[in-house]
Structure 1
């Protein structure tokens, strides 16, 4: 008699086994074992359940220089290396501006192209970087081909921050699935309404505030600062129509270039030094509010002498244990760097010091980059080298575990904005666009 076939494991039991695997890498290896395993793992219900229970793995950093994958021995290095070609390449997004700099004029030496300006929920927000022509008058002090004391019209090229809000071109893409959406530009009549000089423009992706694991519409928010007012230009993907909001309060922060996203809210701090408050934008209500910063232990921290080249790094903001608001200021004293973990708990108005975390001591300078998905990121640079290989680290805010992510070439005095990129591999994810 022939031997009876081996018992078949029900799909429901396989799901319970696979859902307990600790990492996407382990799940990928299981899916390669046999077709029945892969069928269960590829099921939409299982993928949705797995994404609900597990946060997406950190794969590396995106910046103007490209994608910098996590390197060994970081646990995400194998997955990051496999996905690096897709994550780094935005060539599938077509150019929308036919612009080129005149001879001798360069942006960053690499010409106009799409570059990431924000990353969230597996999506990447791109803006088109180029220089824009502006006709201006050459005064008597300007050296021109026709002489030093004659007035003339000439074509000059300005950086993007001196342009009108309608000049910015944006796209949203999912690099792992090579899908994209070109966004309409802000209408000229809408961009002209503030009737003031635009001197700062920042485009961000609003976070997905649902937990059901389904693909959600996205929303792009452009924070535009004018001479005396702040304006929000908002585009929901459901309508693809821009609208404008002018908050009733004007943020008193001198600069709002550093922010973190916590529970559906953007939190801005000063990029250098201490301010007396934290600016908060709730992306669900599109309303601004403030949180007092200079209370409790922050008063003492703000008065500490800072030896890190005369400026402090940003105070990274996270949502910590029990929903408390937590901040991680970076402090340099006597040549050593430490992160101070502070929290605002139980509706208290006083910030409390939780822990001091000493950072690696081999670097001349350290700066925090930003916080995302329960991690704080920072980088260390050597002394006396303008362009150098800097080491990038992650710190899990719940355990304080510090892990080296990668080493990348960077301008140590003017670092490119590094965007932490988290994503499930295509096996477990749905296209976000």
Structure 2
């Protein structure tokens, strides 16, 4: 309403400085998911972000047609309104061409190729999800780099070898970082540092997600079966917590904080974490068709909220979360 009252008000509330202050007070919402098969799945009613999700779906180019034509581009991750994609050009190199994109403003940046002396640390990399030989993640830059270069971002390339895990960090503010080797590692996004951790003992590490719990503690969501005869057919989600302080090399004491028992007749796939809530896709047999949808699970209140319908029948595909603002409140991220 203020923007309609006077042109001066419109200039103020659409300026970058005003929107940055607004975004600092109002965190962005989950708007939907982008599957690695190049489809965008916006949030749906009654989820509160549904109107903004529809607006973004109409305004943005989620097919990334603005990228240079050099092969098949595939979404690998999303964060802060940006997407990381890599390009398959008919060969099978360990490290593909990487682009960081803003689909709303149709901007992109290509990462420089890794130097040979760095890639020499990767020996016999295993395939990721049966396709690529490296994982690609978006991450924030360190606080120092963010102050020096507003809008800076980091990209992590990770290759799993038979005896080690190797990660390379690229910062748009300072260039390529260094490799890191371990079996299970956690990234401290405040300091942009990796450190090794152990996973909760007596629990098989399959589907899991890491979340910040505040007060120098981190959490780990894990999905598993009931663990006793009464709950053997149930799906149980467990939340473990541990201190961010490392006692000895890789030593981590995980404490079981909470468990939530999910439906016996449904199977669940983990989609990630947003706003401290666990995102899941559930599917169950009903008239020979799998139906259910994507939900968010609040561990504090045990409240389940529907986000949207089912993304994919059968086992849920790999997806990237799109978290941001509607077009009228968005800033370019590239």
**For 1:362-412, what per-residue CA distance to the aligned partner results, in whole angstroms no more than 9, with x for missing partners?**
743112222244231111012399985551112245544321111134252
Q: 1:364 to 1:72 in 2, by over 3 A?
A: same
Task: Assess if the C-alpha contact under 8 Å between 2:281 and 2:295 holds in 1.
Answer: yes
2:124 corresponds to? 197
Structure number with the higher strand fraction is 2
Q: Answer yes or no: is 1:216 the counterpart of 2:151.
A: yes
Q: Name the count of aligned residue pairs.
A: 314
Equivalent residue for 1:238, pick from 162, 173, 178: 173
1:74 corresponds to? 47
2:130 corresponds to? none
TM-fit CA distance, 1:118: 0.9
Q: Answer yes or no: is 1:381 the counterpart of 2:309.
A: no
Task: Assess if the C-alpha contact under 8 Å between 1:386 and 1:411 holds in 2.
Answer: no
**For 1:250-271, what per-residue CA distance to the aligned partner results, in whole angstroms no more than 9, with x for missing partners?**
42xxxxxxxxxxxxxxxxxxxx
2:129 corresponds to? none
Three-state SS of the structure 1 residue aligned to 2:57 is helix
Equivalent residue for 1:323, pick from 196, 206, 216: 216
Q: 1:180 to 1:32 in 2, by over 3 A?
A: farther
The two structures, once aligned, show a CA RMSD in angstroms of 3.3
Q: Answer yes or no: is 1:94 the counterpart of 2:62.
A: no
How far apart are the structure 1 equivalents of 2:288 and 2:3? 47
How far apart are the structure 2 equivalents of 1:72 and 1:375? 18
Q: Answer yes or no: is 1:169 the counterpart of 2:97.
A: yes
In structure 2, the gaps of 5 or more residues are 127-132
Task: Assess if the C-alpha contact under 8 Å between 1:202 and 1:223 holds in 2.
Answer: yes
Three-state SS of the structure 2 residue aligned to 1:412 is coil
In structure 1, the gaps of 5 or more residues are 1-28, 98-111, 133-162, 252-277, 303-310
Three-state SS of the structure 2 residue aligned to 1:165 is coil
1:207 corresponds to? 140
2:29 corresponds to? 57
TM-fit CA distance, 1:176: 1.1
The 5 A counterparts of 1:29-428 are 31=3, 35=7, 37-65=9-37, 66-85=39-58, 86=60, 88-97=62-71, 112=72, 114-129=73-88, 131-132=90-91, 163-166=92-95, 168-187=96-115, 189-190=116-117, 193-194=120-121, 196-199=123-126, 200-210=133-143, 215-238=150-173, 242=176, 245-247=178-180, 249-251=181-183, 278-282=184-188, 288-294=194-200, 299=202, 302=203, 313-333=206-226, 334=231, 335-344=233-242, 350-359=253-262, 361=263, 363-383=265-285, 388=290, 391-413=293-315, 415-428=316-329
**For 1:39-97, what per-residue CA distance to the aligned partner results, in whole angstroms no more than 9, with x for missing partners?**
33213332111111121111011112311000111111111011113152311112223
**For 1:240-287, what per-residue CA distance to the aligned partner results, in whole angstroms no more than 9, with x for missing partners?**
x546x343x542xxxxxxxxxxxxxxxxxxxxxxxxxx5224467775
Three-state SS of the structure 2 residue aligned to 1:392 is strand
Point out which structure has higher relative CO (alpha carbons under 8 A, 6+ apart): 2
TM-fit CA distance, 1:124: 0.7
How far apart are the structure 2 equivalents of 1:429 and 1:403? 25
Three-state SS of the structure 2 residue aligned to 1:79 is helix
Q: 1:292 to 1:186 in 2, by over 3 A?
A: closer
- Normalised to the residue count of structure 1, the TM-score between the two structures is 0.63
TM-fit CA distance, 1:115: 2.1
How far apart are the structure 1 equivalents of 2:287 and 2:64? 31
How far apart are the structure 2 equivalents of 1:386 and 1:287? 48
Three-state SS of the structure 2 residue aligned to 1:48 is helix
Three-state SS of the structure 1 residue aligned to 2:56 is helix
Q: 1:30 to 1:190 in 2, by over 3 A?
A: farther
How far apart are the structure 2 equivalents of 1:118 and 1:364? 27
